[in-house]
Copies of this chain bind each other. A is one copy, B any other.
């Protein structure tokens, strides 16, 4: 039996969605973020030394890291639906999006969040405007343009297809869902990027997604 070590409001929501799409039975072990630091609780370190979510166990196997978990599930339970055959253009696209989601798209989104946090952290009133200035300037000249380049690129790719690899949902969609959901939920993607918005709406409309949402508990990005 698969256990998903599931942190609320996190990257692990997409693992629940994938398991629902695959129809593979699983159970959820819940973890709650520390309400002050928003970090995962120390108890997650008992499952994997990094103490991060998502991580799954399947019998004796422990698999961590979103991309690796999704690839493991696709190879083990989803060869006929979620994973294109090795070697062709679809496989290249699959490999690309699997790496792109966390390797290129997420880092500037997380950086943006950290600089927002810098602005809103408790600090003496005379420092506040300077912190805001530093944060806004970094967003404006560095992080903002990087995010724009990425979202323009994803928008243009989704203009061609219903799903990332074409007409059929694949593991690449599962992996891409978290950064795009977060971008829509935080207002970074608006009506100026209709293809990304429509794609996220299509994800959210899937019955398997809705079952995952019901089982996962709190999730701000749906």
Contacts and interface: CB of A to CB of B under 8 A. Distances in A.
Interface of A: 49-52, 61, 63-68, 71-72, 75-76, 86-87, 92, 95-96, 98-100, 102-104, 106-107, 110-111, 114, 118, 127, 130-131, 133-134, 138, 142, 149-150, 152-153, 156
A183 to B, nearest CB: 16
Interface of A, secondary structure class, is: helix
Given A118-B138, A130-B131, 15 more contacts: A50-B150, A61-B92, A65-B104, A66-B103, A67-B103, A68-B95, A68-B98, A72-B92, A102-B102, A110-B111, A111-B114, A114-B138, A127-B133, A127-B134, A130-B130
Given A95-B71, A99-B67, A50 B118 contact: no
A42 to B, nearest CB: 11
Contact of A99 (B50, B65, B130, B142): B65
A74 B134 CA distance: 43
24 contacts: A49-B152, A49-B156, A50-B104, A50-B149, A51-B149, A52-B104, A65-B96, A67-B95, A68-B95, A68-B96, A68-B99, A68-B100, A72-B95, A75-B86, A102-B102, A102-B103, A102-B104, A103-B103, A107-B107, A107-B111, A114-B142, A118-B138, A130-B131, A134-B134
A143 B16 CA distance: 29
A118 B143 CA distance: 13
Contacts of A95: 67-68, 71-72
Contact of A63 (B66, B68, B86, B96): B96
A126 to B, nearest CB: 9
A92 B71 CA distance: 9
Q: State the 5 A-B residue pairs at the shortest beta-carbon distance, nearest first.
A: A67-B99, A102-B103, A68-B96, A107-B107, A68-B95
B107 A134 contact: no
Contacts of A51: 149
Nearest to A127: B130
